[in-house]
Amino acid sequence: MFTSTLLATVPAPLEWSPTVGVIMILANIIAIAFGKFTIKYPSAQPALPAPNFFGGFGLPAVLATSAFGHILGAGIILGLHNLGRI
């Protein structure tokens, strides 16, 4: 009986839409901008093949900012979905 009550309270799954994609892109841009101003050694080794294309970031900075951007984006998307805005 408890299982059926618990399953009844689970929200519908979130489907991908262009809005979700735009939110994730904006979250990653914000994370990269935040990283540009806060990372102490943004060009740490190993370097990327075209460092100018990546804003002078090394591999650790690119991985860190993109991971933070995805965590931020997932939180925003899930929060907006929970509020019923997406």
Per-residue pLDDT, 4: 67
- Tens of pLDDT, residue by residue over 20-73, are 999 999 999 999 899 888 888 777 788 777 767 777 788 888 899 999 999 999
* pLDDT value for 10: 67
List, in order, residues 6 or more apart from 8 with CB less than 8 Å away. Answer: none
Alpha-carbon torsion 39, 68, 64, 26, what sign? Answer: negative
Q: Domain boundaries in the chain? A: 20-83
Q: Residue 6: is its pLDDT beyond 70?
A: no
Q: Encoding tokens for residue 83?
A: 């509020």
Separation of alpha carbons 38 and 43, rounded Å: 13
| Res. 1: pLDDT tops 60 | no
Model pLDDT for residues 66-83, shown as the tens digit of each residue? 999 999 999 999 999 988
